[in-house]
Amino acid sequence: MTAALENPFRTAPGSLPPVFAGRDGELSAARYATSLTASGGAAQPIVFTGLRGMGKTALLRQCVAEAEARRGVVLYSEASRENPLSSSLRRSLEHAKTRFRSIPRKIQTALEAAIKSLPEATYELPSDLGGIKLAPPSLAPRRESFVEALETLNAEVRRDHRFLLIAIDELQEGHVKDLLVLVEFVHLTAGTSEPALFLGAGLPDTPRHLHAVRTYTERWRYFRIGLLTPPETALAVESPARAQGVTFEDAAVARIVEESAGYPFFVQEYASAAWLQHRGKRVTLADVQAIAPGVRRILEDGFYDERFRRLTPRECRYALAMAELGAGPHTVAEIAQSLGATSETVSSIRNQLLKKDVVYVPSPGLVEFRMPLTERYVEQHRAELARRAALAAPGSASPE
């Protein structure tokens, strides 16, 4: 086998990393919830939140795989703004049908009934009759029959000593009405001896997005997942290689820790490139040094360059002020103060940055960079951004 095929590192979005570094708390909470559900006890729904590339999907998939190994029947869906949840649920029900071919006929029938109970896509002629619009089939209109179908499925699944797990990724994209149908179903089962489990993942604004369903969701368990610590990063790099009989020099690990800053997506990228560079049984500092500039360029290009190219001078100033305040969310007032302006004056700049997806609002009054490690990118490109920011009218903080 070639070094490329033996490469243990995983750079594809959502791919299971060879070692889940730094996620013991999240995994054990999900394992406990799974065991409890399997034995007939209702578990608190769990949601993993975090910025892009922190490993939410990977974590959710790992939990799903472990639940399946414990006889869970999983409906795994990805919410999206463009495609309503019903189409993703349809696929997950179809998938469960083929995946569990050997399960009793009655479960197969219940899965088919659940598929049939989902709303079909509808066509609407707009009033000007200029074309045909495909209306997204929300779950809400057929709510009753869909929930009934899920109840039957849940009962059949339990009869076969299994349990139902509903797992939804990208929760922040889901239409609240659709999510409500599923959430109500899970809460309904919590009062019975046949509870279903709910696991989810989404960006940090997920709890805010779920506000409309809050009577249910405020008692859910949210885990905010973030950067790995240096020892966790070292584990993520060294342990998969060691399993293949390859060691990383300490200095090589230290350089990956520094370059990746513990951001899981970057950790996999640097470790993978270093692996492909190495020869023999040792990954050296020279290997990492050889790949680091190229990897950094690709990552900067993919993550930040495009977004930052589109900023106006005043937006550059805002980003520079935010980066100076360091990582994490900052209050609107703090940012305004460092720009020497009032919150009201700078709010329109923030709105532009929100539109350009450079920042987001984790909770009212706060602003945070959308992509992890943006403050580091801004620091590294400070000179150029400051030059562009200087093109703004002197002393002015409002957008042109």
Judged by the rule CB under 6 A, the positions of this chain that interact with ligand ATP are: 10-11, 13-15, 17, 20-23, 50, 52-58, 236, 264-265, 267-268
Q: How far is the CB of 318 from ligand ATP (least distance, A)?
A: 24
**What SS3 class is residue 74?**
strand
Q: How many CB atoms lie within 10 A of CB 219?
A: 10
Please give the backbone phi and psi of residue 368, each rounded to the nearest 5 degrees, phi first.
Answer: -140, 150
Select 82 or 128, whichever has its Cβ closest to ligand ATP: 82
Q: CA 257 to CA 238: how far, in whole Å? A: 11
From 51-59, 64-72, 94-102, 307-315, give the range in contact with Mg ion by CB under 5 A.
51-59
Task: List all residues 6 or more positions away from 318 whose beta carbon is below 8 Å from its beta carbon.
Answer: 335, 339, 346, 349, 350, 353
- Chain positions 174 to 203 lying near Mg ion, rule: CB under 5 A, are none
Question: Residue 114's binding partner, choosing from ligand ATP, Mg ion, none, with beta-carbon cut-off 5 to 8 A by kind?
Answer: none
Q: CA 393 to CA 400: how far, in whole Å? A: 9
Q: CA 165 to CA 70: how far, in whole Å? A: 11
Question: Residue 11's binding partner, choosing from ligand ATP, Mg ion, none, with beta-carbon cut-off 5 to 8 A by kind?
Answer: ligand ATP
Question: Residue 186's binding partner, choosing from Mg ion, ligand ATP, none, with beta-carbon cut-off 5 to 8 A by kind?
Answer: none
Q: How far is the CB of 319 from ligand ATP (least distance, A)?
A: 21
What strands, in cross-sheet order, belong to the sheet with 366-369?
330-331, 366-369, 359-360
Q: Select from 213, 202, 98, 192 the least CA-distant residue to 150.
A: 192
Quick check: 318 and 350 in contact, CB under 8 A?
A: yes
Select 54 or 180, whichever has its Cβ closest to ligand ATP: 54
Q: How far is the CB of 330 from Mg ion (least distance, A)?
A: 25
Please give the backbone phi and psi of residue 53, each rounded to the nearest 5 degrees, phi first.
Answer: 75, 10
Q: How far is the CB of 80 from ligand ATP (least distance, A)?
A: 12
Select 168 or 181, whichever has its Cβ closest to ligand ATP: 168
The residues that bridge with 123 in the sheet, in sequence order, are 134
Question: Residue 55's binding partner, choosing from Mg ion, ligand ATP, none, with beta-carbon cut-off 5 to 8 A by kind?
Answer: ligand ATP
CA 123 to chain centre: 32
Question: Residue 89's binding partner, choosing from Mg ion, ligand ATP, none, with beta-carbon cut-off 5 to 8 A by kind?
Answer: none
Q: Which residue is nearest to ligand ATP (CB)?
A: 55
Does 57 engage in binding with Mg ion (CB under 5 A)?
yes
Q: How far is the CB of 58 from ligand ATP (least distance, A)?
A: 3
Select 97 or 296, whichever has its Cβ closest to ligand ATP: 296
Select 206 or 312, whichever has its Cβ closest to ligand ATP: 206
Query: If you count them, how many residues does the chain have?
Result: 400
What strands, in cross-sheet order, belong to the sheet with 221-224?
72-78, 163-169, 197-202, 46-49, 221-224
Quick check: 274 and 233 in contact, CB under 8 A?
A: no
Q: How far is the CB of 77 from Mg ion (least distance, A)?
A: 13
Q: How far is the CB of 77 from ligand ATP (least distance, A)?
A: 14
The residues that bridge with 369 in the sheet, in sequence order, are 359
Select 78 or 315, whichever has its Cβ closest to ligand ATP: 78
Question: Residue 58's binding partner, choosing from Mg ion, ligand ATP, none, with beta-carbon cut-off 5 to 8 A by kind?
Answer: ligand ATP
Q: How far is CA 271 from CA 49, 124, 343, in A?
A: 25, 51, 43
Q: CA 95 to CA 108: how far, in whole Å? A: 11
Q: Select from 220, 221, 224, 187 the least CA-distant residue to 205.
A: 224
- Chain positions 335 to 374 lying near Mg ion, rule: CB under 5 A, are none
Please give the backbone phi and psi of residue 76, each rounded to the nearest 5 degrees, phi first.
Answer: -105, 120
Question: Residue 248's binding partner, choosing from ligand ATP, Mg ion, none, with beta-carbon cut-off 5 to 8 A by kind?
Answer: none
Q: How far is the CB of 380 from Mg ion (least distance, A)?
A: 26
Question: Residue 17's binding partner, choosing from ligand ATP, Mg ion, none, with beta-carbon cut-off 5 to 8 A by kind?
Answer: ligand ATP
The amino acid at residue 203 is L
Beta strands in 269-347 (DSSP E): 282-283, 330-331
Select 185 or 263, whichever has its Cβ closest to ligand ATP: 263
Number of residues in contact with Mg ion under rule CB under 5 A: 1
Quick check: 223 and 49 in contact, CB under 8 A?
A: yes
Q: How far is the CB of 238 from ligand ATP (least distance, A)?
A: 12
Q: How far is the CB of 110 from ligand ATP (least distance, A)?
A: 31
Select 7 or 57, whichever has its Cβ closest to Mg ion: 57
**Which residues make up the interface to Mg ion (CB under 5 A)?**
57
